[in-house]
Amino acid sequence: MVNSILKDLVVLYVEDQKDAQDELKHVFDRTFKKTIVANNGDEGLKKFLMHKKRNYNIDVVVTDINMPKLNGIDMIKEVKKYDKDVKFVLTTAHTDPEYLLDSIELGVTAYVTKPINIMQLLEKIEYAYKQKIDNDKLNRIINKMKEHNIKEVEEFFDILDKETKKEESNENLYLSDGFSYNFKNKVLLKDNKTISLVNQEIMLLEYFINNSNKILSYEELLQAISINNSENTSLNNLRTVIKSLRKKSSKELIMNLSGVGYKLILE
């Protein structure tokens, strides 16, 4: 059984075969928080960099190998120049040792041969994401140890315990008027009550949070909720999403600057 951790993932899926792409995207859309689709390695690299520029991190890249313009192996090489922590899962019909050797040297977490067993693929993606979480946590602990010149085992576990508690406390971000946002479950909280959010509300609120107390233009906010998203993303739609967020939280949370854009006000 696939862990519910998958519902928090942002996945970049790169595949040039339309039939295979459509079949997996249908599954991915029901499984992950967000699925970004690219038709070849060149497009995959561009979409990865576009999201990174907007501080919208991609957790796992699922990619084919043999594609036009830029193959999967070369795309991975380019992506790793900008983000060494992102994890990769290969979907391929190739069992060529040269391809497999390249993927191992690049640190690809797993590969699934075609025709794809969907449950096996989801399990590989889950495994890749857990590796990313563990690596992030370990790197933070190592940096803490270096910072404090820690060499004793007891001190190591003390830091591990503190980091775990810090992660738990960091799941909730206080907004205003008693409202908090829970990053893990993607919900608003107030007075021990949970307020659910739809996909565009989550994307927009997290983009606001990542750019809190900054004035964000209409165009920038539209891009934040429209990348690879089939939902309507007109200016009227943006206003509707913001109106809905205000209704579910505080009316003062998002400030409107007429003719300019919006700004998230955190207390």
User: Domain-by-domain residue ranges, the chain?
Assistant: 4-132, 136-170, 172-264
84 or 249, greater pLDDT: 249
228 has a pLDDT exceeding 50: no
**pLDDT band (50, 70, 90) for residue 11:** very high
Structure tokens at 120: 């096996």
**Burial degree of 260 (CB within 10 A; 0-12, 13-18, 19+):** exposed
Domains 4-132 and 172-264 share a fold: no
Residue 43 reports pLDDT greater than 90: yes
* Domain range 172-264, CATH architecture: Orthogonal Bundle (1.10)
Q: What is the mean pLDDT of residues 40-52?
A: 93
For the chain, report the end-to-end CA distance as a whole number of angstroms: 41
Percentage above 70 pLDDT, the chain: 76
CA distance 67 to 198: 34
| Low-confidence winner among 70-74, 131-135, 152-156, 231-235 (lowest mean pLDDT) | 152-156
pTM: 0.55
pLDDT tens digits for 49-107? 998 888 788 999 999 988 888 999 899 999 999 988 888 998 877 655 566 666 766 77
pLDDT at position 161:
58
Residues 159, 141 contacting (CB under 8 angstroms): yes
Whether residue 47 is predicted with pLDDT greater than 70 in this model: the reply is: yes
Average pLDDT over residues 112-133: 83
Average pLDDT of the residues in 223-239:
68
Give the model confidence (pLDDT) of 143-171 as tens digits. 655 666 655 444 544 555 565 555 555 56
Highest-scoring range by mean pLDDT, 74-78, 134-138, 147-151, 220-224 = 74-78
Query: Of 24 and 211, which is predicted with more confidence?
Result: 24
What topology does CATH give the domain 4-132? Rossmann fold (3.40.50)
CA dihedral 30, 60, 130, 102 (to 10 degrees): 140
* Confidence at residue 153, expressed as pLDDT on a 0 to 100 scale: 45
Q: Is 148 exposed, middle or buried (0-12, 13-18, 19+ CB in 10 A)?
A: exposed
Please give the mean pLDDT across all residues of the chain.
80
